[in-house]
Amino acid sequence: MANAGDAEDAKDTGDANQPPAGANWNTGGVQVVGSTVHGPVAGGQGATVRIGADAAAAGPVGPEALRAAAETLRTALARLRAERPDAVTDADAEDADAALAGILAETALDEPREGPLRRRVGTVVDALRTVAVLAAAVSGLEAAFAALSGQL
């Protein structure tokens, strides 16, 4: 049964740029209902987070993004092997490191080739996908390659 307050909440505010009183109006982006999110949230290709009037700076795009992701992952892999040698098998670590070196060499070319990059990224993903502490870096490498492959 509706009460008098419901009728009041349903009234239009008269301002076309504002939702009606009591309404939940999403003009786009991410909407979370029934939980709390602390910090910025963005979703979808090319999404950015805007806090106040400032948009988050876009990261590098193209070969330099893939190169940066490969360098980050190679450094993380070396550190992990030094701190916890049993975290990654020697064969997987050697395969991943060789593929990462190949990615760095290919992205240094004036015109990197998609085929060799795809194979090397695949090798890294296969070798390191189960290493939880490297999962974010592996995902970053995959995302950087996906963005680049549309440009090649």
pLDDT digits (tens, 9 = 90+) for 40-99: 555 554 555 555 555 445 555 689 999 999 999 999 999 999 999 899 999 999 999 999
Q: How many angstroms separate the CA atoms of 72 and 80, rounded? A: 12
pLDDT (average), residues 17-28: 54
- Contact status, residue 36 vs residue 79, Cβ threshold 8 Å: no
* 85 dihedral zone (left: phi>0; alpha: psi -120 to 50; beta): alpha
Percent of the chain with pLDDT over 90: 42
How confident is the model over 92-110, as a mean pLDDT? 96
- Residue 147 above 70 pLDDT? yes
Give the pLDDT confidence score for residue 27 in this predicted structure: 52
Structure token pair of residue 20: 């009606």
Q: What is the pLDDT of residue 124?
A: 95
Q: What's the rounded Cα separation, in Å, for the pair 86 and 80?
A: 9
- Give the C-alpha separation, 14 to 108, whole Å: 58
Q: How many helices (H) and strands (E) does the chain have?
A: 5, 2
Residue 16 banded pLDDT, cuts 50, 70, 90: low
Please tell me whether residue 92 adopts helix, strand or coil conformation: helix
> Strand, coil or helix: what is 55?
strand
Binned at pLDDT 50, 70 and 90, residue 102 comes out as: very high
